[in-house]
Amino acid sequence: MEKQRLDKIIASTGKWSRKEVKNLIRHGQVLVDGLPAAGPEEKADPEAAEIVVNGERLTYQRYTWIMLNKPAGYLSATEDGRGKTVLDLLAQELRHQGLFPVGRLDKDTEGLLLLTNEGGLAHDLLSPRHHVDKVYYARVAGHLTEEDCQAFAAGMTLDDGLVCQSAVLEILSAGEESEAHVTLREGKFHQVKRMLAYRGKPVLYLERVKMGNLTLDPDLPRGEYRFLTAEEVENLRSL
């Protein structure tokens, strides 16, 4: 792989800012193939060199994969003249790596959103052919019933002609307001909200809790993110 500046390689892990990297190098805390790095501008092949930062060996990953616990109020986009995007939640070092959200959550929807710069795998995860399940927690106005579950299972054609494939509605609680998990294999525009509205149970709150074999990390506070482990990325690949 082509050589890159050491500060860039280390900062791209997202664990240290470029400023922190400079300090670490100055204090002899960065070793390249066993020798202290000369300066932040020193170049190395990130795949071939053994880079140790603060005693920790870097495992270079060609692509970045991030799990974000999206808060309401952010657009699932990379740029928007009018409002905040999910990229605004990332550290400065991560904003110029070509990261983009894997699919979209509505501005008011919260929960699991993946960000990556690996176009091929992102595309596969979203492709309807690959049938990657997405699970949402929904709170709705109105009493969810067994008929609603059957209508979801049968698939439905909405008033505006949108054809929705079979989906799973699992009622968690039912009353004046109800709660449910909705599992979809597709990702049409506002799909969960539209399906529930069609059943006369408008969504009051929506959160994505699962995508494929990845569950929203319960230790990840709203608005925060973490890197996927190599194992988690491999698991996504196996889908």
Q: Most distant CA pair in the chain: distance in Å? A: 69
Q: Which range of residues in 12-20, 87-95, 104-112, 120-128 is near ligand URA by CB under 6 A?
A: 104-112
Q: For residue 70, state whether it binds ligand URA (rule: CB under 6 A).
A: no
Least spacing, CB of residue 106 vs ligand URA, in Å: 4
Active site includes 106?
yes
Of 80, 106, 133, 217, which is the active-site residue? 106
Contact pattern from residue 130 through residue 169 relative to ligand URA, giving x for each residue in contact according to CB under 6 A and a dash for the rest: ----------------------------------------
Contact pattern from residue 166 through residue 205 relative to ligand URA, giving x for each residue in contact according to CB under 6 A and a dash for the rest: ------------------------xxxx------------
Least Cα distance to 64 among 228, 210, 239 occurs for 228
Least Cα distance to 86 among 225, 235, 216 occurs for 225
Helix then strand count (H, E) for the chain reads 6, 17
State which of residues 13, 64, 85, 109 lies at the interface with ligand URA (CB under 6 A): 109
User: Cβ distance 193 to 109 under 8 Å?
Assistant: no
DSSP state of 129: G
Positive or negative, the CA dihedral 142, 147, 152, 155 is negative
